[in-house]
Structure 1
Amino acid sequence: MESIVAKLDAALYPAVCSVNTYLSNYILVFLLVAVGLWYSIKTRFIQVRCFGEGMRRVFGNLTLNGKKHDSGMSSFQALATAIAAQVGTGNIVGASGAILTGGPGAIFWMWVIAFFGMATIYAEATLAIKTRIKAADGTIHGGPVYYITTAFKGGFGKFLATLFAVAIILALGFMGCMVQSNSIGECFQTAFGIPSWIVGVALVIICGIIFLGGVQRLAAVTEKIVPIMAAIFLLGGLVVLIFRIRYVPATFGMIFKYAFEPQAIVGGSFGYAIKQAISQGAKRGLFSNEAGMGSTPHAHAQANVK
């Protein structure tokens, strides 16, 4: 049995690596930047133009004890549910992984992806709300599958929607959870000596209790935890910056310098180094903010807004 597994691993691993390299180094970078740029132009750079309005609407509706809705979520609950996937291990593991592989310059490209990604996520959320449907029992259904089939009629649209549905189930239900739970388990084991498998079991139990309660319980939990989590996350980062303030100017200098001259850090030729910095910034940027991934529109579709 072990020999069969070893043979399968030897046969499949190089193929998976080749496909992953091609998709992440070329197609993913092009699509993330191109789509984000296109939406930015079409919305007249809404991430800049309406930034103030967005902040007022977010913090104007800030609550830790939102109203219970018969169906869907409040606007803030939907936002909190979406942010739950965007703030946390993706920012920490994603950024550190980008620096490790692509050098400090990869952070610059994460910023670029994030800037254009703001317009992409705005478009994803808007499309999810415009194409959602309300079932007979009052539940709301929406997300990329619905606006894909709205944009592409017939068999082609169904094929794309099915492909997306399978991919997002694998990405969120398996791969993404593996990365996050492993990161949490490793941190607990390193910091407190708690075996990572115990942390994994605890996470499964806690998440199971939340998920089995449906959308309403998920919304009730996220609207209470996410603001506190985000505040601790930002406060922790601010404390680190204050204590290491003398290194901040040099750090920014390295980020901008090695965004365009990364070979001294990454190694290899200039072309290879710049490709590594950009591709790592794009991949880790997607992992960090999920713009263009199609995961957060499911939460935004539940918002009780026009």
Structure 2
Amino acid sequence: MDFMQLLDSIDNFIWGPPLLALLVGTGIWLTLRLSLLQIIRLPLALKLIFSAKSDGKGDISSFQALCTALAATVGTGNIVGVATAMKAGGPGALFWMWMAAFFGMATKYAEGLLAIKYRSVDANGQVAGGPMYYIEQGLGKKYRPLAVMFAASGVLVAYFGIGTFAQVNAIVDATKGAFGVPEYVTAIILTVLVAAVTIGGLQSIAKVSSKVVPFMAVVYVVTAMGVLIVHADKVPGAIKLVIDSAFNTTAATGGFLGATVMMAMRNGIARGVFSNESGLGSAPIAAAAAKTKWPAEQGLVSMTGTFIDTIIICTMTGLCLIVSDVWVGDLKGAALTQAAFASAFPATGTALLTFGLILFAFTTILGWNYYGERCIEYLFGVKSIMPYRIVFIGLIASGAFLKLEAIWLLADIVNGLMAIPNLIALLGLTGVVVAETKRYLAYVKNNEVEEEIEDLEVEQIK
């Protein structure tokens, strides 16, 4: 067995049924303990995105924290990941992505809550938080090795995986294929832009993310809606096919080789988790910096990230692939989604998807730059931040010319290793999550009663 085969075997083992079961199982457990909070409190969570008061200690608003987290999660996985899942598992994979997202919302809620509950302030006066802090402070000092494992894996993923090479290659390939831009030109422009934003730290990243993320999400969703409107007569059948294929073997048709229920389930859950990152522990690093005094409030805001990423954006992509019938062809990855968009907009579809892919990949770079920075600061202190940023920028510059499969496999492995200590902490701190939730909901109920009394008094005066 050569080195590549060894890495591939390790990758398949880590991202096999045990980890997927742990990820989904943690979500199910939290869903039960929180009494279906992701359904009952979703309206409140969506309202808080724009109405959270930002009246607590922190570096950025709750909205900016959400956008920074979405910057990292809404990426090539929403375009390429959905296409890959459907190509391997059929339309039923989309259903299992929904299931992963539904239970993942409870997981993301718990992560956001614990991030605020156990955050601290570093030597530079900036808020520091995330799984490494709630592992050490929540579970106790004896669990510090788990915190170190998470932080070390986080730095490696930021340097060699989601944060750099995968995104840079996506941008380079997109600009070269759609517009004929040479690799070195894209590399220079991208490096300058990343350097300009990331050297400024979280404030700079949050400002860019809070403007770019809503814009890119709206553009992508509106374009996808256009595809669905053009193929409106096929939408009901597409939804029925997704549900039927989730529980029945999908027959071979066209270039699609067919898929069992297990293939649909595994690909849907794996790609769903990879897309929204619920349970991986990345999003709470950004959530910790939010200006709020209520851990549960930020938990609710964080929860909407999974809803937006998977339930909205991934669903749009999946339905576009089905109604345009491109999923049964011979295309793969981004080319599959590109063909779906072009089926409705022959003149502009390719350009619109390329534009979306570039923005998605660019913001993912920014988000993961911050995640890696917080992880390395936990390991080596604030003096390591600037050297980390310089190396990160250097990797962005070189990433356009590197296509090392071994590095991508290694990144996938350490990405999975991030999840293990985080999930252990979520299970161990479930009692804290439940207690904080009850405290916040009691506060919300009291406020609602007070507002009703005030409204009644106003009516009586009138």
TM-score by length of 1: 0.87
Code of the residue aligned with 1:161 in structure 2: it is A
SS at match of 1:83: helix
Matches within 5 A, 1:149-160: 149-155=136-142, 157-160=143-146
Structure 2, unaligned stretches of length 5 or more?
Answer: 294-462
The answer for the alignment partner of 1:260 in structure 2 is 247
Alignment partners' CA distance in 2, 1:170 and 1:278: 29
Cα distance, 1:196–1:35 mapped onto 2, change above 3 Å: farther
The answer for the alignment partner of 2:125 in structure 1 is 138
Alignment partners' CA distance in 1, 2:197 and 2:174: 23
Alignment partners' CA distance in 2, 1:28 and 1:141: 27
The answer for the alignment partner of 2:399 in structure 1 is none
SS at match of 2:149: helix
Q: Which stretch shows the higher mean deviation, 16-25 or 46-55?
A: 16-25
Identity, in percent, stands at 38
Alignment partners' CA distance in 1, 2:139 and 2:177: 49
Deviations 1:94-152 (A, max 9, x none): 10111112221111111100111111111001000000012454311101100111233
Deviations 1:152-197 (A, max 9, x none): 3344x12111111121222233211322222222222222122345
Q: Which stretch shows the higher mean deviation, 69-78 or 138-147?
A: 69-78
The answer for the alignment partner of 2:11 in structure 1 is 20
Alignment partners' CA distance in 1, 2:268 and 2:188: 32
Q: Which stretch shows the higher mean deviation, 109-118 or 221-230?
A: 221-230
Cα distance, 1:261–1:160 mapped onto 2, change above 3 Å: same
> Is it true that 1:181 corresponds to 2:172 in the alignment?
no
The answer for the alignment partner of 2:437 in structure 1 is none
2:78 paired residue among 82, 85, 91: 91
The answer for the alignment partner of 2:152 in structure 1 is 166
Alignment partners' CA distance in 2, 1:71 and 1:41: 31
Alignment partners' CA distance in 2, 1:232 and 1:255: 25
Report the Cα offset of residue 211 of structure 1. Answer: 0.7
Report the Cα offset of residue 48 of structure 1. Answer: 0.6
Matches within 5 A, 1:72-221: 72-135=59-122, 137-155=124-142, 157-176=143-162, 177-221=164-208
Say how many residue pairs are matched: 289
Cα distance, 1:150–1:140 mapped onto 2, change above 3 Å: same
Structure 1, unaligned stretches of length 5 or more?
Answer: 1-9
SS at match of 1:264: coil
Code of the residue aligned with 1:45 in structure 2: it is L
Code of the residue aligned with 1:44 in structure 2: it is S
> Is it true that 1:55 corresponds to 2:46 in the alignment?
yes
Report the Cα offset of residue 300 of structure 1. Answer: 0.4
Report the Cα offset of residue 28 of structure 1. Answer: 2.4
Code of the residue aligned with 2:235 in structure 1: it is V
Code of the residue aligned with 2:116 in structure 1: it is I
Alignment partners' CA distance in 2, 1:18 and 1:240: 39
Code of the residue aligned with 2:44 in structure 1: it is E
Cα distance, 1:251–1:179 mapped onto 2, change above 3 Å: farther
Report the Cα offset of residue 305 of structure 1. Answer: 0.2
Code of the residue aligned with 2:148 in structure 1: it is T
The answer for the alignment partner of 2:325 in structure 1 is none
Code of the residue aligned with 1:53 in structure 2: it is L
Deviations 1:264-300 (A, max 9, x none): 24758x8xx3332222112211221111111111110
TM-score by length of 2: 0.59
SS at match of 1:85: helix
Conserved? CA contact 2:57–2:291, under 8 Å: no
Cα distance, 1:18–1:217 mapped onto 2, change above 3 Å: same
SS at match of 1:194: coil
Report the Cα offset of residue 71 of structure 1. Answer: 5.5
Alignment partners' CA distance in 2, 1:198 and 1:259: 44
> Is it true that 1:251 corresponds to 2:238 in the alignment?
yes
User: Highest CA radius of gyration, 1 or 2?
Assistant: 2
Report the Cα offset of residue 13 of structure 1. Answer: 1.5
Conserved? CA contact 2:101–2:276, under 8 Å: yes
Cα distance, 1:141–1:260 mapped onto 2, change above 3 Å: same
| RMSD, aligned CA | 2.4
Cα distance, 1:196–1:120 mapped onto 2, change above 3 Å: farther
Alignment partners' CA distance in 2, 1:209 and 1:234: 28
Code of the residue aligned with 2:270 in structure 1: it is K
Cα distance, 1:107–1:197 mapped onto 2, change above 3 Å: farther
Conserved? CA contact 1:28–1:282, under 8 Å: no
Alignment partners' CA distance in 1, 2:289 and 2:251: 48
